[in-house]
Copies of this chain bind each other. A is one copy, B any other.
Amino acid sequence: MENQYSYSTEVEWTGERGGDLSAPDLPNLEVDAPPEFKGHEGVWTPEHLFVAAVNSCFMTTFLAIAENSKLEFVSFSADAKGMLEKLEGQGFIMTEVVLRPKLLISHARDVERAGRILQKAEKNCLISNSIKTETRLEPEVSFAGE
């Protein structure tokens, strides 16, 4: 593994507040401002992409730590809700992302350990570590009946 990587995207304006988002070898994505900022419904927005970056990074970080920790689990999903707030003198800022992972583990004995691994994933996620936004974890761990 190297100590440095780069990731590139390109956006091209298509009219009003919308554009085509592309990246080398990745599927194209239509983007727009959200409706409250003169965009349209049903299109990925900068705000959603930001929350998605945190959410997906939390998942991939969890998966890496779970693998290293040999945690056996059946399923994982996570909701993420990002709050955009207008702050005095600062304009709009993403102030908080609440992460609600649902993890189904294989063995009841791992419940506490699984909780610690989720905490560790939230702390080690490179996107969370690159943002000013607070992240808050509300985990739900259950186990497959034995």
Contacts and interface: CB of A to CB of B under 8 A. Distances in A.
B129 A17 contact: no
A12 B132 CA distance: 25
Interface in A21-43: 21, 23, 25-27, 29-34, 36-39, 41-43
A13 B38 CA distance: 33
Contacts of A108: none
A114 interface: no
A25 B13 contact: no
Copies in the complex: 2
Q: What secondary structure prevails in chain A residues at the interface with B?
A: mixed
B48 A83 contact: no
B85 A126 contact: no
Contact of A93 (B75, B81, B130): B130
Interface residues of A toward B: which range? 35 or more
A77 interface: yes
Interface in A47-90: 47-60, 63-64, 75-86, 90
17 contacts: A7-B45, A8-B51, A8-B81, A8-B82, A10-B78, A12-B76, A17-B60, A27-B29, A29-B44, A31-B52, A32-B60, A33-B63, A37-B64, A45-B56, A50-B130, A91-B124, A91-B126
